[in-house]
Chains A and B, each alone.
Chain A
Amino acid sequence: MSRSVWKGPFVDGFLLKKAEKVRDSGRNEVIKIWSRRSTILPQFVGLTFGVHNGHKHVPVMVNENMIGHKFGEFAPSRMFSGHTPGDKKASPTPAAAPAKK
Chain B
Amino acid sequence: MSAQTDSAKRVCLGVIVGAKGLKGEVRIKSFTASPEDIGTYGELTSEDGSRQFKLKATGFQKGAVIGRISGVTDRAAADRLKGERLYVTRDALPEADEGTFYYADLIGLSVETVDGVPVGRVRAVDNFGGGDILDVERPGQSSVLVPFAEGIVAGVDMKAGVVRIIPVPGLLDDGGNETNDGGDETTDDPAAKTKADG
| A34, B31: Cβ atoms closer than 8 Å | no
> Chain B interface (Cβ within 8 Å of chain A)?
1-4, 11-13, 31-33, 37, 41, 88, 93, 96-97, 99-104, 106-107, 124-133, 142-153, 166, 168-171, 175, 178, 181, 185-190
| A87, B188: Cβ atoms closer than 8 Å | no
Q: How far is the CA of A57 from the CA of B104 in the complex (A)?
A: 24
Interface majority SS (helix, strand, loop, mixed), chain B: loop
| Closest partner residue, chain B, to A15 (CB atom) | B188
A-B contacts, 10 of them at CB < 8 A, read A34-B188, A51-B130, A56-B145, A74-B130, A86-B4, A86-B103, A88-B125, A90-B101, A91-B100, A91-B148
In the assembled complex, the CB of A13 is this many whole angstroms from the nearest CB of chain B, namely 7
> Can you add 8 more A-B contacts, CB < 8 Å, to A82-B1, A92-B153?
A48-B152, A51-B130, A56-B142, A66-B129, A85-B33, A86-B103, A87-B37, A94-B150
Q: How far is the CA of A62 from the CA of B178 in the complex (A)?
A: 21
A93 and B150 in contact (CB under 8 A), knowing A28-B166, A85-B32? Answer: yes
In the assembled complex, the CB of B31 is this many whole angstroms from the nearest CB of chain A, namely 5
| A17, B33: Cβ atoms closer than 8 Å | no
Q: How far is the CA of A59 from the CA of B185 in the complex (A)?
A: 23
Instruction: Give the chain B neighbours of A86 by CB distance below 8 A.
Output: 3-4, 11-13, 31-32, 88, 93, 102-104
